[in-house]
């Protein structure tokens, strides 16, 4: 077990249903292996239902609900993808406010695949460069962000750093980069 993230608490925000399982579990394992404490945050208590593309996968216990979660209790935020997951989150004011809060106080955020839909709704993409699943490109551009087709992008625009990635095939690079950035050891790009 590594110690790069020792003492840090990382929020993973997901909808009650629809998160792409590997986009939740791989970053979760990466931060836990680096010594952090991952916390599963959702809009409802109980369990969330993950998916492997369109097929039901595993369920996971919710640790906190967005109504009660406080940005100040976390060091960073991860937004996994899956089509249904961010599509639902962007309609939930408590989830959108929670996400926006990380940007307002300058804490790092990592997002993959369709996850930027929640960032579009939070109004935090203007002037930022990021990547995503290709179908999210137009939404990012309409939100005045710059979309690029790269494995991982780290945007250090103030007030917070944003790490983004395109798809499950990019998870190894995404996980390595988010651990590096969350630890404060990343070179600025």
Q: What does residue 103 show for φ and ψ, rounded to 5 degrees?
A: -70, -40
Structure tokens, 52:
């492997």
Secondary structure of residue 112 in the 3-state scheme:
strand
Pairing of strands 55-61, 47-52: antiparallel
**113 a catalytic residue:** yes
- Residue among 113, 116, 54, 57 at smallest CA distance from 81: 113
Would you give the DSSP letter of residue 125?
-
Where would I find the beta strands (DSSP E) of the chain?
9-13, 17-20, 37-42, 47-52, 55-61, 64-65, 76-79, 109-112, 129-130, 146-147, 152-155, 162-165
Closest CA to 97 of 131, 126, 121: 121
Identify whether 155 is a catalytic site residue. no
Half-sphere exposure of 5 (CA within 13 A, CB side): 28
Of 114, 155, 157, 175, which one is the catalytic site residue? 114
Q: Of these residues, 113, 155, 157, 175, which one is catalytic?
A: 113
Q: Which residues are catalytic?
A: 113-114
């Amino acid at each position: 077990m590594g110690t790069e993230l020792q003492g840090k608490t990382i929020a993973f925000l997901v909808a009650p249903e629809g998160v792409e399982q590997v986009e939740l579990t791989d970053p979760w394992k990466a931060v836990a292996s680096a010594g952090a404490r991952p916390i599963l945050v959702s809009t409802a208590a109980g369990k969330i239902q993950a998916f492997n593309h369109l097929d039901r996968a595993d369920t996971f216990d919710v640790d906190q609900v967005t109504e009660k979660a406080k940005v100040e209790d976390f060091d960073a935020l991860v937004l996994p993808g899956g089509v249904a997951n961010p599509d639902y989150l962007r309609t939930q004011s408590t989830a959108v406010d929670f996400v926006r809060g990380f940007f307002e106080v300058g804490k790092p955020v990592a997002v993959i695949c369709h996850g930027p839909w929640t960032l579009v709704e939070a109004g935090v993409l203007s002037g930022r460069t990021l990547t995503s699943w290709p179908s999210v490109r137009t939404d990012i551009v309409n939100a005045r962000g710059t979309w690029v087709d790269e494995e991982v992008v780290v945007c250090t625009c103030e007030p917070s750093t944003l790490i983004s990635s395109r798809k499950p095939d990019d998870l190894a690079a995404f996980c390595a980069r988010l651990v590096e950035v969350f630890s404060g050891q990343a070179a600025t790009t």
